[in-house]
Copies of this chain bind each other. A is one copy, B any other.
Amino acid sequence: MQVRTILRILGLLVALFSVTMLPPAVLAYFYQDGGGWAFLSAFIVSLLIGFFLWYPNRLFKRDLKTREGFVIVVLFWVVLGTVGAIPFWMPDEHTLSFTDSMFESFSGLTTTGATILVGIDELPHAYRYYRQQLQWLGGMGIIVLAVAILPLLGIGGMQLYRAEIPGPVKDAKMTPRIADTAKQLWYIYLGLTIACAAAYWFAGMTPFNAIGHAFSTVAIGGFSTHDASMGYYDNPAIPMIGVLFLLIAAVNFSLHFAAFPRMHRKRVDGQTHYDWSIGSVQTYFRDPEFRALIIIQFSLMVIVVSTLLFHQQFTNTLDNIVHGIFQAVSISSTAGFTTADYTVWPVFLPMILIFASFIGGSAGSTGGGLKVVRVLLLYRQGVREMNRLIHPKGVFTVKYGKRPLPDRVVQAVWGFFAAYALLFVILMLLFIATGLDDYSAFGATAATLNNLGPGLGVVGANFTEVSMAGKWIAMLAMVFGRLEIFTLLVLFSPAFWKQ
């Protein structure tokens, strides 16, 4: 284990992360409503932490192996989650307990969006902004992780997205290619955020709220600058903008990457030519996961809206449609924004929305859950089993796109599903042990493991009623969910630590 190389990288990350404490400090100065001292001192503390991690190890620059990849990915989230908690913990009139600070920071950075805060509207702008920014940074982190790193580690079938698919997984080195990919993804992510913020602004949000909600929308995070979440706004254009950008953010960013305008340099007859290429709508529709995402989202909208209309949940038809579409997308994509208290909606609506959050977003998106591609592969396996029973002599392969799936990928997806189910049961029992009732424990597990945010029962709106032990279990579940279970799980295996 290249401990010192890992520490060097972490030091750099923390130092870089400390800079993100400055915009809230500037906001505090601008609005003069408090929080400035907390963020300035948090900046200094985290910069020092980063420095003292980096400085003694600055000369260690060895290549990292796959095993170290797991460690660094887990540490990335755990260390940044901890450093991110510092501003909340700083002693001023808005100080939180250590547990609550950690909860809010981890919930932000993992894009879960569960909160222990009430009275968010009355908080200083610095805090209100910082929470949104945490989600945005976490969303960026997860895209780089999912698109560039997990395929190399081969987590849960994600080697599906590697260039060199079949064959045994190589003990791949962490290549500089990750940095290139990350930079391009960053442009796309930034572009989407700007577009989303502009749209919210035009629809009537203040610039402060527009940027804040754009941050948590493209991150599928669910934090809001208001206690009432998106329900704060009367204008139906705002939830519809949210739906549009949530759907875009729930798509695999590899597809956006492929469809992104790009310049190619060609040399023809000794002369250099520059060509621009851009992907088309086909780039998206050729992808089986994208098609499945659209079908799932559309079906869910129809079910939710028609049930609301049938039960006349809102007196106004438009309200049934807007709230229905918004909650369908917000919960199933695992954003967790609310415009209405969907947990009291008629018959099976709360439960079907929570179940939909288990599917979640696409792989390589900022959404949580099992991911659409895995559910699609599980479904196709189930259909194959049926066909095999009906035609025992037939030969059936499971395809993804036009290629038959390698067994290795299929098995990894199954292993992922089993681990997810087992972990769900264990976490739910742990939540019950901390004093939650069974129903709320189910909601809390789904809310955290799926990185959804709001649950059911006492955790329907926030986690203030959860005990200290329960909050720590929630944080554990968030990290498990965000790191696709196995990234964290392998660290608990004795075999991992044997040389």
- A residues in contact (CB < 8 Å) with B: 66-67, 70, 153-155, 168-171, 347-348, 350-352, 355, 378-379, 381-382, 384-393, 407, 410-412, 414-419, 421-422, 425, 428-429, 432-433, 438-439, 441-442, 456, 486, 489-490, 493, 495-496
Q: Give the chain B neighbours of A386 by CB distance below 8 A.
A: 415, 486, 489-490, 493, 495
List the B side residues contacting A428 at CB < 8 Å. 351
Q: Are A425's CB and B169's CB within 8 A?
A: no
Please give, as numbers and ranges, the residues of chain B lying within 8 Å of A382 by CB-CB distance: 415, 418-419, 422
Q: Whole-angstrom distance between the alpha carbons of A153 and B389 in the complex? A: 7
- 25 of the cross-chain contacts (CB-CB < 8 Å) are A155-B389, A168-B393, A169-B388, A169-B393, A171-B393, A348-B429, A348-B432, A348-B433, A351-B432, A351-B438, A355-B429, A378-B418, A381-B414, A382-B415, A382-B419, A384-B411, A384-B415, A385-B415, A386-B415, A389-B490, A390-B490, A414-B414, A417-B417, A417-B418, A438-B456
Copies of this chain assembled into the complex: 2
CA distance A170 to B388 in the complex (A): 11
Residue in B378, B381, B390, B496 whose beta carbon sits within 8 Å of that of A493 in the complex: B390
Q: Which residues of B contact A170 (CB under 8 A)?
A: 392-393
Docked Cα-Cα span, A417 to B438, in Å, equals 24
Q: What's the Cα separation between A390 and B486 when bound, in Å?
A: 10
Alpha-carbon separation in the docked complex, A425 to B432 (Å)? 21
User: Given A351-B432, A385-B486, 16 more contacts at CB 8 Å?
Assistant: A67-B390, A70-B389, A169-B388, A171-B392, A348-B429, A348-B432, A352-B429, A378-B418, A385-B412, A385-B415, A386-B415, A386-B486, A407-B407, A438-B439, A439-B439, A442-B442
List, in ascending order, chain B residues with CB within 8 A of A433's CB: 347-348
Report B-chain residues with C-beta under 8 Å of the C-beta of A384.
411, 415
Query: Are A66 and B171 closer than 8 Å at their CB atoms?
Result: no
Q: How far is the CA of A378 from the CA of B416 in the complex (A)?
A: 10
**Contact at A381–B415, with CB atoms within 8 Å?**
yes
In the A-B complex, the 4 residue pairs with the closest CB atoms: A385-B415, A169-B392, A348-B432, A348-B429
Please indicate the chain B residues that have their CB under 8 angstroms from the CB of A407 in the complex. Answer: 407
**Separation of A407 and B410 alpha carbons in the complex (Å):** 11
- Interchain nearest-CB distance for A306 vs B (Å): 13
A390 to B199 Cα, complex, angstroms: 45
Is B390 a contact partner of A347 (Cβ separation < 8 A)? no
The answer to whether A416 and B385 touch across the interface, beta carbons within 8 angstroms, is yes
